[in-house]
Amino acid sequence: MSALCPPPSPAVAKTEISLNGDSPLLAATFAYWDNILGPRVRHIWAPKTEQMLLSDGEITFLANHTLNGEILRNAESGAIDVKFFVLAEKGVIIVSLIFDGNWNGDRSTYGLSIILPQSELSFYLPLHRVCVDRLTHIIRKGRIWMHKERQEHFQKIVLESTERMEDQGQSIIPMLTGEVIPVMELLSSMKSHSVPEEIDISDTVLNDDDIGDSCHEGFLLNAISSHLQTCGCSVVVGSSAEKINKIVRTLCLFLTPSERKCSRLCRNESSFKYESGLFVQGLLKDATGSFVLPFRQVMYAPYPTTHIDVDVNTVKQMPPCHEHIYNQRRYMRSELAAFWRANSDEDIAQDTTIHTDESFTPDLNVFQDVLHRDTLVKAFLDQVFHLKPGLSLRSTFLSQFLLVLHRKALTLIKYIEDDTQKGKKPFKSLRSLKIDLDLTAEGDLNIIMALAEKIKPGLHSFIFGRPFYTSVQERDVLMTF
């Protein structure tokens, strides 16, 4: 991050963003490949801080760097490629999403990048997927808008016989701003409230003298079981930050350290927004005693979510992975198609469009009761409280439990791998798998499958074939084998 650097030319538009907390993000940039001038930066977003860590010139230099070499880009149609740089010489890490789009009548290459100091590498890596997923989707939308802009632009040229180059593509910037700011806010909130990678078991429910001391036994069992069935992805809501955070920490015990760093504690004073893609997050209810979850963002989370209300001790869960992914994809496609059809800026404003004219109504009741009971978590909870609290006995016992889960998940993957010859043949012996691997309880199978999904993405969809079947339907089908 040297101070010396060539001045940018011409000046780049910049948006300064005020954040509540410290921002680990140095800047975000949008650059494109100009067929005459090469890589050029179109826009810079930077947090408003007293101390400028990177000058605009440096940011421009780095952003240009992300597109260097992309003249050789060889990508599939519609691909949004991710590049990740750790440039020790400059002391920064850069995450770039490179994509092709139509602009000025030409097909060109673009790059949306975020820049962080290199010292934040270990902070950022667990959040990489969250950031990339979110930026990817906004690029999908932005790309459509650029395309539409081009069409409208040509119409304008025909009508007015004029061309103003500077106007083109401008409207993608507000769209990108709409996601860049939340990403900055997310990183800022994670900097202050992320769950530590090492959790002291004494801060959790598992430190109680007996089960049921802090919360009801059945509630705890349901919460942990469902949390594991939804790949460790949970939202904990309530009126007391302390109570919420205790459950958040408890659930995080069942995650890997990396996943914990992608989880967030509840803020005392006011609630954070729901953030799609975090593993566990604590959210404070408002004065009316409710917390409104944004449907779209819940759907866009990479895994299904468990909803836990610590005030009324309820646990609800979303459908299993394959169903969730299928619904998510349908929703995404619908959203993009609607966007494609939108005619004006008003139509494309984020998260506000409701299409009332469609005959199809989305199923808003995505959270349902936990139907499948498990034996794994139940046995664990029955047993762990027999060990004396305050020592490391319970931690050891917990690590044994987690080891069993992970090993079962890997064995399950290997079993399916053997049976299907690494996916070459369809999997037809779910019943044998359940018996052989001692997963006859539906809840147990769900937990192990969820864990397996995390390390072998797509496993659910592969096993359960037709992903649009509901869980119940597919079980009916599979049990007939």
Which 257-276 residues touch other proteins, going by CB under 8 A?
257-259, 261
Please choose, out of 183-191, 214-222, 226-234, 286-294, the segment that lies near other proteins by the rule CB under 8 A: 286-294
DSSP 8-state class, residue 289: S
Minimum CB distance to other proteins smaller for 16 or for 468:
468
Closest CA to 291 of 252, 327, 259, 244: 244
Tokens of 306: 């468990």
- Determine which residue in the list 295, 345, 470, 476 makes contact with other proteins, applying CB under 8 A: 295
Cα separation, 437 vs 412, whole angstroms: 7
Closest approach of Cβ 398 to other proteins, in Å?
8
Minimum CB distance to other proteins smaller for 36 or for 354:
354
- Determine which residue in the list 53, 173, 181, 437 makes contact with other proteins, applying CB under 8 A: 437
Closest approach of Cβ 123 to other proteins, in Å?
9
Tokens of 384: 């762990």
Closest approach of Cβ 46 to other proteins, in Å?
18
Please name the residues in contact with 158: beta carbons below 8 A apart, sequence gap of 6 or more: none
Closest approach of Cβ 442 to other proteins, in Å?
18
Please name the residues in contact with 412: beta carbons below 8 A apart, sequence gap of 6 or more: 433, 437, 439, 448, 449, 452
Closest approach of Cβ 70 to other proteins, in Å?
9
Restricted to residues 192-251, the positions that interact with other proteins (CB under 8 A) are 197
Minimum CB distance to other proteins smaller for 16 or for 440:
440
Please name the residues in contact with 160: beta carbons below 8 A apart, sequence gap of 6 or more: none
Q: Contact 130/171 with Cβ under 8 angstroms?
A: no
Closest approach of Cβ 437 to other proteins, in Å?
7
String marking each residue 317-346 x if it binds other proteins according to CB under 8 A: --------xx--xxxxxxxxxx-xx-----
String marking each residue 131-170 x if it binds other proteins according to CB under 8 A: ---------x--xx--x-----------------------
Q: Is 411 in the site for other proteins (CB under 8 A)?
A: yes
Minimum CB distance to other proteins smaller for 192 or for 383:
383
Instruction: Report in angstroms the alpha-carbon separations of 76 from 5, 32, 99, 222, 427.
Output: 35, 18, 10, 44, 30
Closest approach of Cβ 355 to other proteins, in Å?
4
166 CB-contact burial (10 Å; exposed 0-12 / middle 13-18 / buried 19+): exposed
Closest approach of Cβ 467 to other proteins, in Å?
6
Q: Is 191 in the site for other proteins (CB under 8 A)?
A: no
Task: Compute the half-sphere exposure of residue 371: CA atoms within 13 Å on the CB side of its CA.
Answer: 9
Burial 169-181, CB ≥16 within 10 A → b, else e: bebbbebbbbbbb
String marking each residue 31-70 x if it binds other proteins according to CB under 8 A: ---------------------------x--x---x--xx-
Number of residues that bind other proteins (CB under 8 A): 125
- Determine which residue in the list 419, 441, 475, 477 makes contact with other proteins, applying CB under 8 A: 419
86 CB-contact burial (10 Å; exposed 0-12 / middle 13-18 / buried 19+): exposed
Closest approach of Cβ 432 to other proteins, in Å?
4
Please name the residues in contact with 344: beta carbons below 8 A apart, sequence gap of 6 or more: none
- Determine which residue in the list 407, 470, 472, 479 makes contact with other proteins, applying CB under 8 A: 407
- Determine which residue in the list 105, 436, 473, 479 makes contact with other proteins, applying CB under 8 A: 436
String marking each residue 74-113 x if it binds other proteins according to CB under 8 A: xxxxxx-xxxxxxxxxx-----------------------
Closest CA to 255 of 195, 211, 298: 195
Closest approach of Cβ 189 to other proteins, in Å?
19
Closest CA to 182 of 269, 296, 72: 296
Cα dihedral sign for 347, 348, 354, 355?
positive
Q: Is 283 in the site for other proteins (CB under 8 A)?
A: no
Beta-bridge partner residues of 82: 97
